[in-house]
Structure 1
Amino acid sequence: MIANEIVSPSTEAARVVDAVLRDLRSGEHRGVVVDSPPGAGKSTLVVRAAGVLAAAGEPMMIVAQTNEQVDDLIERLGARSPQITVGRLSAVDYEPSERVRAHPACRVAPKVADLRTPAVTIGTAAKWATVTEGTWPWAIVDEAYQMRSDALLRVASRFERALFVGDPGQLDPFSTVEVERWIGLSWDPMQSAVAVLLRHNPDLPVHRLPVSWRLPHSAAPVVAEAFYPFTGFRSGTGPGDRVLTFGKPASSVHDEALDRALDRALDQAAATGWGLHELPARFTIRTDAEAAAACAGLAARALEREGGTISEAGEGRLTADRIAIGAAHRDQAAAIRSLLPPGAAGVTVDTANRLQGREYDLTIVLHPLSGRRDATAFHLESGRLCVLTSRHRHACVVVARDGIADLLDAHPSTEPVHLNVPVKFPDGWEANQAILAHLHR
C-alpha cells in the first residue's frame, strides 16, 4: 500500500478477501484463519469461498454452530450461486425451513449417503460429529471462535484443508459441566477451535477483515476500543450516511415523567448513535421489573413515534421486526417480552447467545451488571456485552441502574491465574468501563 494512500472501505475489505482466496487456492497451508469484527461479512466470505472452491471442482463440507446459521448459509448460497448443489445434513425429525425449501438445488437428509454427493454438504458441528465415513478436500468452519476445540477434534478427520471464519470478540464456547480439570492443558476442550488450532499450528496464515458493514460510524470506534483494542476496524459508512428519525415529537405521544426520560434516551440515540436510560442505583433481583418495563417502553415508544431510517440501502420505517431487546438471562428476556404492548409484539427479545450473528436497526440492551451486588465472571464476560452492543445499524440504547462503575471498582478480577493459559484481551472489567465511559460522555 502506498504511504498516505486513502483507501475506501470497500477497497480495503476487497484486498483482504482476495488475500484469503489466494491462500485458499494456493494449497500451501492446511488451514486459513479469518478474524472478523461484528458485521464484517463473515457469511458473505463463507458463501464466496464456497463458490470459488465448488467452481474448481472441489467438494466441501461446511460446519456451522446452529441450525439457524446452517439455514442462513443455504439461503445465501442459493442467492449467490443457485447452480451449486447443496446437501443439508439434518436430524431425522428436521422440517426444512422456507429458506431451505427455496434453494433450487438443495437436498435434505439425515445421512451423507442420502444426499447424492452434492458440491457442498452443510450441517451443524453436532451433526457432523455423528458422521463416521467419507472425507472432503475442503471444510469451511463458520463462527469458529464459538466452536469448542473438542467439537473440532471430532470432525477433523473428515477434511484435508479448512477455512476457519469467526469473530474473536464474541461469546466464548460454554459448557454446563465443571471444566476446571482441563484448564491449562494445550487441548483444553473449553478453548475455542481457533485457539487450539493456532496453538498447535502457529504458522497458519491469519487474516483480519477490516470493515464492519453493520455498525454505523458512531459505533465502530466505540466497539473497537472496548472489544478489539489490538486489531481495530472501521465502519463501512461515514458521518451522516445513516440517520434515525422520529416522525412524531416526544410531546405528541405522552408527557409523563417516565415517558419523557425514555424519549430523551431515544432522541439522544437518534442524534449520536448511543443512548443511556439510567435508573436510580439499587440492588435488585435478576428480573428487575423497573428495568424490564423500561426496555419494553423504549421499544414501544420508538414505534409509537413512527421511527424511520435513512441509509445506503434507502429509506424505510422502523418496524417492530427491526428492533431487538437483548438481556443476559432468559428469565429477563421473558419478563421484558411479557411487558411489550400488542403494537410491539413483533420486537425480538432474546439473550446475547441467541442474538449473536443477527442485526437490527435499533437495539435496546439491559446491561448485564444492572442492579447487581457483585460482578461475576458470567456478567463480566466481554463477549456478552460485545454481542449486545454490536447488533445495530443505526442506534443502541442501554438500560442500566446507576452505580455500575462503582461496582466494577469494588470488584476487581479475583479469578485465579492458571499456568499455560493465554491471557484473554480485553478483559470484561476493562471493556465494561470503556462502554460506560462513552455512554456517560
Structure 2
Amino acid sequence: MTAADALAPGDAAEAVVAAVLADLGRGHRGVIVDSPPGAGKSTLVVRATAHLAAAGDRLMIVAQTNEQVDDLIERIAAKHPHLGVGRLSAATYAPSARVLAHPQVRVAQKADDLAEQPVVIATAAKWATLTDGSWTWAIVDEAYQMRSDMLLRIAGRFDKALFVGDPGQLDPFSTVEVERWAGLTWDPMRSAVSVLLAHNPDLPVHRLPVSWRLPASAAPVVARAFYPFTGFRSGTGPGDRRLELRAGGMGTAHDRALEEAAASGWALYELPARHTLRTDAEAVRATAALAVRLLQRGPVAHSEQGSAEVGADRIAIGAAHRDQVAAIRAALGEEGAGITVDTANRLQGREYDVTVVLHPLSGRRDATAFHLEAGRLCVLTSRHRHACVVVARAGIPELLDAHPSTEPVRLGVPVKFPDGWEANQAVLAHLAEHRVAAG
C-alpha cells in the first residue's frame, strides 16, 4: 500500500491536484496529468484555469471537439462567473444554449476580438488556423487524443502548457496509411503527450488516483484490465451505490441480466456462438431490448449524490461501428426514445448511470487491430456510475486464442501495455462470473 492509498479518496485526489498547481509555478515548460475515467479531469482544468488567471497570466485552452469546448465553457463560467471567457470559433458555429447562458462569455471568429479576455477556449483545429498571437499558458484537454502534428501546429502560440488526458482511452486515428512514420520521434500519429515526453523526458507527470464515476464494483476491473501499472480506486465503497428496479421481473433472460447488473454492477448477456454480419440482427435486438426493458423496470439510482430515477437520458448504448449504432437506434423505436446510442469514439468523456455495450468482437471470424484496440473496450466499459451490461456471442475467448496479438514491435515505438488481446481477456474473465445465457 502506498501513502496515497492510506488517505481517504478525497484527500488523495486533493493532494495530487495541489501538487499539480504547485508545479505550474515552478518554471516547468510543461506539466502532464494522467487521469483514469471519471477522475475529475474537467474539475482540474477548471481549478487550473482559475489558478493561472488569478496570477495574471493570459491563458488559452485547447479541446478536441466543439462539444468539449462548450462543456468546459459551461463549467468554468458557472464556477467563476466573474472570469471573462472567450469562445474562439468558426464562422459557421452557432452558440449553444449553455454558452449563451453565461453573460461573461464572448464568442468571436478572430482572436483579436478576444484580446481582452483572460481565458480563450477553442478546438485544436481552430487554434491551428491562427498565424499570430501568443499566450503565456495553454491547457490542453484530452491530450492523449490529440495528434502530435496538431500540437506542433499550435506550439508557437504558448510558452508553457498543462496537458491533461486519459492514457487508457482511444488513441488518435487516421484514415490514411501511417506506417511510413512508425518509429520516428515526431510520428504525427502518436499522441501529443507521447511525443512531448520523447523530447522532454524530465517533465513532471502526475496521476489522479481516484475515479469518482466508476463504482467500487467497476474500478478494480477497469484498472486491472486497462491501467495495470498505474491503477486507481473508486471514490465510493461497496454499498455506497445501489441500483433499484422498482418493477418486478418476469424471469426472462433480459430480466435476469438486468437483475444481475443491478446486484453486482456487471452482466454478460451471452448469445449462442455464431459467425455473423457486423450488424448482427439478433445482437442488435437484444441490445435494444435490454435498454428498453431497463426503463420498463423503473430503475432508481441511489448514491452519495442522493436518489434519482434513471430516465432515458441516463442510459447509453455503445457499439464499435456506426452501422451498428444506426441499427440499434432503429430497433429501440419509440419505447427507447431519449436513450443515447453511439460509437466508443463519440461516447468518450461522457457519463451515464447504466450502459449497455455490444462487444466489438461479438460474432466475428477474426480479431482485427481495430476491434482489439484496448482503448475502444475501455471507453465502452467505463461510462457507467452504477452498472454495465455487455451483449456478446459466446466464443470470444476462443477467438482471441485463435488470433494472438501479432502487432509488430518497432524500434523507437514505446510498447503499449496492456495490449487489446490481454485487456479483452481480463474483462471477459470477469464477465464470465456474471453470465446470463440468452433464453
User: What's 1:401 paired with?
Assistant: 393
User: What's 1:218 paired with?
Assistant: 217
| Amino acid across the alignment from 1:378 | F
Cα offset, 1:130, TM superposition: 0.1
CA distance in 2: counterparts of 1:88 and 1:168, whole angstroms: 27
CA distance in 2: counterparts of 1:117 and 1:4, whole angstroms: 41
TM-aligned CA distance change 1:81 to 1:268, over 3 Å: same
Tell me whether 1:372 sits opposite 2:364 in the alignment: yes
Tell me whether 1:104 sits opposite 2:106 in the alignment: no
TM-aligned CA distance change 1:185 to 1:3, over 3 Å: closer
Deviations 1:250-273 (A, max 9, x none): 12xxx6xxxx11111110000000
3-state SS of 1:26 partner: coil
TM-aligned CA distance change 1:267 to 1:424, over 3 Å: same
> Is contact 1:300-1:341 (8 Å) kept?
no
Cα offset, 1:56, TM superposition: 1.1
> Is contact 2:5-2:12 (8 Å) kept?
no
User: What's 1:243 paired with?
Assistant: 242
User: What's 1:8 paired with?
Assistant: 8
> Is contact 2:409-2:415 (8 Å) kept?
no
| Amino acid across the alignment from 1:288 | D
TM-score, normalised via structure 1 length = 0.97
User: What's 1:297 paired with?
Assistant: 289
CA distance in 1: counterparts of 2:76 and 2:164, whole angstroms: 16
Q: 2:377 aligns with which of 372, 385, 388?
A: 385
Q: Where do 5+ consecutive residues of structure 2 fail to align?
A: 434-439
CA distance in 1: counterparts of 2:115 and 2:5, whole angstroms: 50
| Amino acid across the alignment from 1:197 | L
3-state SS of 1:375 partner: coil
Q: How does 1:7-406 map to 2 (within 5 A)?
A: 7-27=7-27, 29-251=28-250, 260-406=252-398
CA distance in 2: counterparts of 1:440 and 1:55, whole angstroms: 51
TM-aligned CA distance change 1:199 to 1:369, over 3 Å: same
> Is contact 2:88-2:121 (8 Å) kept?
yes
3-state SS of 2:247 partner: coil
CA distance in 1: counterparts of 2:268 and 2:404, whole angstroms: 24
User: What's 2:436 paired with?
Assistant: none
> Is contact 2:86-2:119 (8 Å) kept?
yes
> Is contact 2:183-2:411 (8 Å) kept?
yes
Cα offset, 1:425, TM superposition: 0.6
3-state SS of 1:217 partner: coil
Q: Hey, which bits of structure 1, 4+ residues long, moved more than 4 A?
A: 1-5
CA distance in 2: counterparts of 1:383 and 1:377, whole angstroms: 11
3-state SS of 2:404 partner: coil
Cα offset, 1:318, TM superposition: 1.0
Q: Where do 5+ consecutive residues of structure 1 fail to align?
A: none
Deviations 1:372-410 (A, max 9, x none): 000000000000000000000000000000000000000
CA distance in 1: counterparts of 2:361 and 2:116, whole angstroms: 50
Cα offset, 1:82, TM superposition: 1.0
> Is contact 1:142-1:166 (8 Å) kept?
yes
3-state SS of 1:277 partner: strand
3-state SS of 2:335 partner: helix
User: What's 2:437 paired with?
Assistant: none
Deviations 1:332-369 (A, max 9, x none): 00000001131321000000000000000000000000
TM-aligned CA distance change 1:106 to 1:4, over 3 Å: closer
CA distance in 1: counterparts of 2:83 and 2:165, whole angstroms: 24
CA distance in 2: counterparts of 1:393 and 1:93, whole angstroms: 36
3-state SS of 2:349 partner: coil
Cα offset, 1:4, TM superposition: 9.9
CA distance in 2: counterparts of 1:70 and 1:372, whole angstroms: 37
3-state SS of 1:96 partner: coil
| Amino acid across the alignment from 2:294 | A
CA distance in 1: counterparts of 2:225 and 2:19, whole angstroms: 28
3-state SS of 2:6 partner: coil
Deviations 1:168-189 (A, max 9, x none): 0000000111111101111000
Cα offset, 1:2, TM superposition: 9.4
CA distance in 2: counterparts of 1:343 and 1:243, whole angstroms: 25
TM-aligned CA distance change 1:123 to 1:3, over 3 Å: closer
**How many aligned residue pairs are there?**
433
Query: Which moved further from structure 2: 3-12 or 384-393?
Result: 3-12
CA distance in 2: counterparts of 1:83 and 1:176, whole angstroms: 43
The root-mean-square deviation of aligned C-alpha atoms, in Å, is 1.2
Q: 2:402 aligns with which of 410, 414, 421?
A: 410
| Amino acid across the alignment from 1:23 | D
Query: Which moved further from structure 2: 3-12 or 190-199?
Result: 3-12
Cα offset, 1:418, TM superposition: 1.5
TM-aligned CA distance change 1:406 to 1:204, over 3 Å: same
Cα offset, 1:115, TM superposition: 1.8
